Amino acid sequence: MDTDYDCIVLGTGLKECILSGVLSVTDHKVLHMDRNNYYGAESASLNLEQLYAKFHTDEKDQKPPTEFGRTRDYNVDLCPKFIMACGDLVKILLSTKVTRYLEFKSVGGSYVFKDNKIHKVPSTPAEALASPLMGFFQKRHFKNFLTYVSEFDQSDQKTWGGINPAKLTTRELFSNHSLDDNTISFTGHALALHPDDSYLDQPCLDTIERIQLYAYSVNRYGNSPYIYPMWGLGGLPEGFSRLSAVYGGVYMLNKPIDEILYNDDGTVMGVKSGTEVARCKRLLADPSYFLNTDKVQKVGQVARAICILSHPITDTNNADSCQIIIPYKQINERKSDIYVSVVSYHHQVAAEGKWIATVSANVETNDPHKELIPGLKLLGKIDKEFFYVTDVYEPTGDGSKDNVFITKSYDSTSHFESATAEIPMLFKAMTGKDIEMAKTADPEDLQNQE
């Protein structure tokens, strides 16, 4: 440990492991440390015994019931998120060839909750006409809108329809296509995957590109735009850790960090663990390593309920996996959406005949569990529930002054889109270069790497 590194990385969450791997590939000397004795940190996957031990402090309650099956059949994500099939995270996986260590399965369905019912999210003009989400005339408007989005090409002004997508707001774009509040709600939140409504007053180009990515991913993979790794998300950090090690990265688990060291000018110098000191030019860390300092600030909380079920979710075509988004306008007095993610034994994350459903939401009241009830009601009979609340932190600086780069906590969404956007930004801030990605993310590329 007592040596110099280009970068020291603290924490083995997914974002930290991706950046550690990519830095190693690009000839950076990396030391990666974690106070825990397992990979994944906040994005770890636990077996059934580990899950019970984590959430039951009383030792007599830590033994899972035998009817749940073998503990080793479970790989339960603490922070479950689906991966956009043709998105940037998959492009990073392809460019680094980490996919050789992983196997993916398409998620069975993508749904939105409206008027106390679960509906498939329409992503094509044909689906728009058949969807019960809208009335007759609104279906026509939405069909025309999706046709416009599918034909839009940023490099060809002839497809812009006489607007400037860099200036026209999304609210104005929706108005131009006569979309009503209901259609706007599920379009913005279930298709474009915006976490709140601030996007409505931003230039519409971003929303157009988000909807295009969603529709393209559905068309390439089938019933939903998402994929999910077999055996849980824990394989992703391990895959990138393996990549880093292949290119000379040094890993140390179960290694406490006693002190972050700084030069006289305030820039980071290294870290101290016991009597050992490792020096670095840059430091990357998850926010848990800077709690009670001025480098991170708490910006909220996320409530999650991990539930074991013995059945699929009603009205999802008996899907082995699915995402359900409950737009906040469907729930009185909420300001943000509720997310439900479901995976099952088909993904090798639970015993045969079992489903793992997680309901998550931003905490907005003094009763976080009550806030999850609209999502919990969709699950039907719950065999076992594990409820917890986590604090959400974000860095107060961008790392340009002290060379300390800190990731954000994971949000309540059931997909990786916001987390994925953070990765290339951090890589460029640390190196001054763009992160390398594959140009496309096609199914055959994902499954056929050698």
Domains of the chain (ranges plus CATH)? 4-45+234-297+394-435 (3.50.50.60), 46-108+298-392 (3.30.519.10), 121-221 (1.10.405.10)
Q: Which single residue is written with the structure tokens 């590939």? A: 25
The reported pLDDT for the residue numbered 311 is: 96
Residues whose CB falls within 8 Å of the CB of residue 339, separated by 6 or more in sequence, listed in order: 323, 324, 325, 326, 359, 360, 361, 375, 412, 413, 414
With residue 219 as reference, give the H or E element that holds it: helix 205-221
- Contact 384/74 with Cβ under 8 angstroms? no
Token pair for 103: 């196997």
Where does 142-238 show beta strands of DSSP type E?
226-229
Within 13 Å of residue 163, how many CA atoms lie on the same side as its CB? 23
Could you give the C-alpha distances from 192 to 205, 213, 369, in angstroms and in order? 11, 9, 27
Q: d(Cα 249, Cα 404) in Å, to the nearest integer? A: 19
Task: Identify the three-state secondary structure at position 344.
Answer: strand
Q: d(Cα 300, Cα 392) in Å, to the nearest integer? A: 5
Q: d(Cα 212, Cα 6) in Å, to the nearest integer? A: 38
Mind giving me the DSSP string for 318-367? T-SSEEEEE-GGGSTT-SS-EEEEEEEGGGTSS-TT-EEEEEEEE--SS-
The reported pLDDT for the residue numbered 2 is: 67
Q: Which residues pair with 282 in a beta bridge?
A: 7
Is the pTM of the predicted complex or chain greater than 0.85?
A: yes
Q: φ, ψ for residue 409 (rounded to 5)?
A: -65, 160
Mind giving me the DSSP string for 405-449? EEPPPP-S-SBSHHHHHHHHHHHHHHHSSPPP--S---HHHHH--
With residue 278 as reference, give the H or E element that holds it: strand 276-285
Mind giving me the DSSP string for 290-326? GTTSTTEEEEEEEEEEEEEESSPPTTSTT-SSEEEEE
Residue 130, burial from CB neighbour count under 10 angstroms (0-12, 13-18, 19+)? exposed
Which pLDDT tens digits describe the chain residue by residue (450 residues)?
A: 668 999 999 999 989 999 999 999 999 999 999 998 877 788 789 999 999 988 886 666 678 999 999 999 999 999 999 999 888 889 888 888 888 888 899 999 999 999 999 999 988 888 888 889 999 899 999 999 999 999 999 999 999 999 999 999 999 999 999 999 999 999 999 999 998 899 999 999 999 999 999 999 998 877 789 999 999 998 888 888 888 989 999 999 899 999 999 999 999 999 999 999 999 999 999 999 999 999 999 999 999 999 999 999 999 989 999 999 999 999 988 999 999 999 999 999 999 999 999 999 999 999 999 999 999 999 999 999 999 999 999 999 999 999 999 999 999 999 988 888 899 999 999 999 999 887 776 655 655 554
- Contact 34/252 with Cβ under 8 angstroms? yes
Token pair for 333: 């007095």
Query: Identity (one letter) of the amino acid at 30?
Result: V
- Contact 295/266 with Cβ under 8 angstroms? no
Q: φ, ψ for residue 316 (rounded to 5)?
A: -120, 25
Q: Which single residue is written with the structure tokens 């000191």? A: 277
- Contact 211/187 with Cβ under 8 angstroms? yes
Q: d(Cα 308, Cα 354) in Å, to the nearest integer? A: 7
The reported pLDDT for the residue numbered 450 is: 47
Token pair for 128: 């728009």
- Contact 1/31 with Cβ under 8 angstroms? yes
Torsion angle (degrees, nearest 10) of CA 182, 188, 190, 192 = 150
Q: d(Cα 106, Cα 82) in Å, to the nearest integer? A: 10
Token pair for 24: 């190693």
Token pair for 201: 């007053």
